[in-house]
Amino acid sequence: MGADRDTMNESVLCFGDDDSLIGIYTPAATRGRRPAIVLVNSGVVHRVGPNRLYVNLARQLAAADYPVLRFDLSSIGDSSPRSDALGFEQAAISETSAAMATVGRESGATRFILCGICSGADISFLTARDQPTVVGAVLINGRALHGVTDDAGDALEAAVDSALGATTSAHYLWKSALFNPASWRKLVSGQVKPLELLGVIGRPLMRRFIAHEQVPAAARELRDAFDAVLGRGTALLMVYSESDPAIDYMQMMFGKEMKKIAAHRNFTEVHLAAADHTFTPRQSRDALVAVLRRWADARFAG
């Protein structure tokens, strides 16, 4: 993986309101017509990504001639808090859209691929839903694609205590909390301290969430959003770690409709064996990069 080791021609970009958002731009090795890629924050982990996953992705994809921007959403990493009262979901979509505009100006790209893991996948899909210039989205272990709203966050939080009784290791519990969209929302709003994030979205919790009265409506909206995004030609790549709860999430939200989605020409689903939620082993990260690059080249290299 030479591109990850070599000295890179990267630059720091400030953008958004009052230049309050910070990102790292990795230009394509050869300037061309390929889409620009935006890597979206995962939970409270800043732009390097879990286990430096986003650094590796950015450099490998730039070496393959895709310009890449990895950035911090407001209140994460080096980006400043917002000065307005815009809700979490709306703010994240707005800031991701600003990142698209910024990397477009730098690279000349007019088409974009969004990519994120866990809550970053959720924001990537929600932005793709709203932005027709998004021609591809890579959704890695996404668990709240229906929307990271206050109500959904509260519904998830309400099930955390009972889910903690599941026979799961403390290490997994901590990682699940770190990438829980509800925990992220509360952290950036100052409602909780980082050590209070020890919660879990596991299979028991997701089943309780699906049983919540708000879920049938959310599931219908999500199915409609998938139909709209795929129908307009946006390619979706969904990547799952082995046995990740996101697999249950999609099955529960889509039910029998999942077969229809899976058969769509613009939909690709990949399961990576022996990969954990945050792709801790280097071989898992390398496998993920390879999957993403093959998918992108097949769709957009021409």
Which pLDDT score, from 0 to 100, does residue 162 have?
38
Q: Assign 88 a pLDDT band (cuts: 50, 70, 90).
A: confident
Rounded distance, CA 86 to CA 80, Å?
14
3-state secondary structure string across the chain? CHHHHCCCCCEEEEECHHHCEEEEEECCCCCCCCCEEEEECECCECCCCHHHHHHHHHHHHHHCCCCEEEECCCCCCCCCCCCCCCCHHHHHHHHHHHHHHHHHHHHCCCCEEEEEECHHHHHHHHHHHHCCCEEEEEEECCCCCCCCCHHHHHHHHHCHHHHCCCCCCHHHHHHHHHCCHHHHHHHHCCCCCHHHHCCCCCHHHHHHHHHCCCHHHHHHHHHHHHHHHHHCCCEEEEEEECCCHHHHHHHHHHCCHHHHHHCCCCEEEEEECCCCCCCCCHHHHHHHHHHHHHHHHHHHCC
Q: Residue 167's pLDDT is what?
A: 31
Domains along the sequence of the chain with CATH: 2-157+219-300 (3.40.50.1820)
Q: What is the pLDDT of residues 142-177, one digit of tens each?
A: 877 777 555 544 554 444 333 333 433 333 444 555
Query: Bigger pLDDT: 145 or 300?
Result: 300
Enter the pTM of the model: 0.80
Q: What tens digit of pLDDT does each residue of 170-222 get?
A: 334 445 555 555 555 555 555 544 444 433 334 444 444 444 444 567 788 88
Query: What is the percent of the chain where pLDDT is above 70?
Result: 74
How far apart (Å, rounded) are the C-alpha atoms in residues 49 and 70?
A: 9
| Three-state secondary structure string covering 72-97 | CCCCCCCCCCCCCCCCHHHHHHHHHH
Q: Give residues with Cβ within 8 angstroms of 67, minimum separation 6.
A: 25, 26, 27, 28, 34, 36, 37, 103, 106, 107, 109
Residue 107: the pLDDT is 97
End-to-end Cα separation, the chain, in angstroms: 24
